[in-house]
Amino acid sequence: MTLLTKLKMREFIFDCVDTTRFELRILECETYQEFLKIATDEEMLYYIGIPSTEVAEEKKKAQYGFRTYNKSYLMFLIIDRETSEILGYCGYHTWYLEHDRAEIGYGLYSDNWKGKGVMTEVLNTVLHYGFTEMNLRRVEAFISPDNVASLSTVKKFGFIKEGQLRSHYVKGDNIEDSVVYSLLINEYNSMNSNK
Q: How confident is the model at residue 11 (pLDDT cuts 50, 70, 90)?
A: very low
DSSP track, the chain: ---EEEEEETTEEEEEEE-SSEEEEEEEHHHHHHHHHH--HHHIIIII---HHHHHHHHHHHHH-S--SSEEEEEEEEEETTT--EEEEEEEEEEEGGGTEEEEEEEES-GGGTTTTHHHHHHHHHHHHHHHTS--SEEEEEE-TT-HHHHHHHHHTT-EEEEEEEEEEEETTEEEEEEEEEEEHHHHHHHHHT-
The CATH number of residue 29's host domain is 3.40.630
Residues 80 and 49 in one domain: yes
User: Do 100 and 175 share a structural domain?
Assistant: no
Considering only residues 170 and 7, tell me which one the structure prediction assigns the higher pLDDT: 170
Instruction: Note down the domain range covering 4.
Output: 1-136
Q: How far is Cα 16 from Cα 75, in angstroms, rounded to an integer?
A: 11
Q: Are residues 36 and 114 in the same domain?
A: yes
If one counts the domains in the chain, the total is 2
Q: Are residues 143 and 125 in the same domain?
A: no
pLDDT digits (tens, 9 = 90+) for 101-116: 999 999 888 888 889 9
Residues 130 and 71 in one domain: yes
* pLDDT tens track for 176-185: 999 999 999 9
Whether residue 117 sits in one domain with residue 195: no
Q: Is residue 128 located within the same domain as residue 158?
A: no
What is the reported pTM?
A: 0.78
Half-sphere exposure of 149 (CA within 13 A, CB side): 12
